[in-house]
Amino acid sequence: MAVINAFKMDGLGNDFIIIDQRSKIHDLTKEQIIKICDRKFFGCDQLIYIKKSKVTDATLEFYNSDGSQSGACGNGTRCVAYLLSKEPLISAKNEILLGTSSGIIKSKVLKDKIVETDIGVPKLNWDEIPLSQKIDTKNLNLKLIDNDNKEHYGGVAVNVGNPPVIFFLENIENINLSKIGPEIENHKLFPERCNITLAKIINKNLIKVKVWERGAGLTKACG
């Protein structure tokens, strides 16, 4: 039986199984990834590969719990950065650079178990997100129906390695995210699917959110 160097980590309630492939490659099938991510087995929001890189400290590959590949994840990157910061060759560095399919992500360990990750400037153009047609990304005019059958229209689309669609609402608890999440994730407007965030602005320093993540479903947080 092959021995796999793996870890389970958590970032803001977003949990990951991380497999280090730098010394030995263990490529898993889609079915194996789905099995590992299943909450009835090990269970996680995403599975992450750490791979060798000649350009950065490592390269990361992200896989959702449905076996599909994801571009990047801020929380997952923070977990890997913390893990790598314990290694002698990396611990002395001020920044940890990790390559992803969405670009190079910089992280800093501020103190024990506190990691800051710069996910870069959000992309706002319709074809960068991507959307299937050219429309105003600041208002997609998508309809939500709350638990009182009241209609809400909106949706702001950005790309931060993954494409979240954000709905700013007064009451995010009155929306059944388990129902509308998969509907919007698979909407024809999003050829690569999308994450859905319900957001309520508490004050200028605090925003409360509920998240549906493409390929994973309801998550406690999303990078």
Catalytically annotated residues? 73, 222
Longest dimension (CA), the chain: 57
CA dist 48 and 19 (Å) reads 6
Distances in Å between the Cα of 169 and the Cα atoms of 21, 130, 152, 161, 223 are 42, 24, 8, 24, 20
CA dist 96 and 80 (Å) reads 10
Provide the 8-state DSSP code for 128. Answer: T
The structure tokens listed for 135 are 């429309």
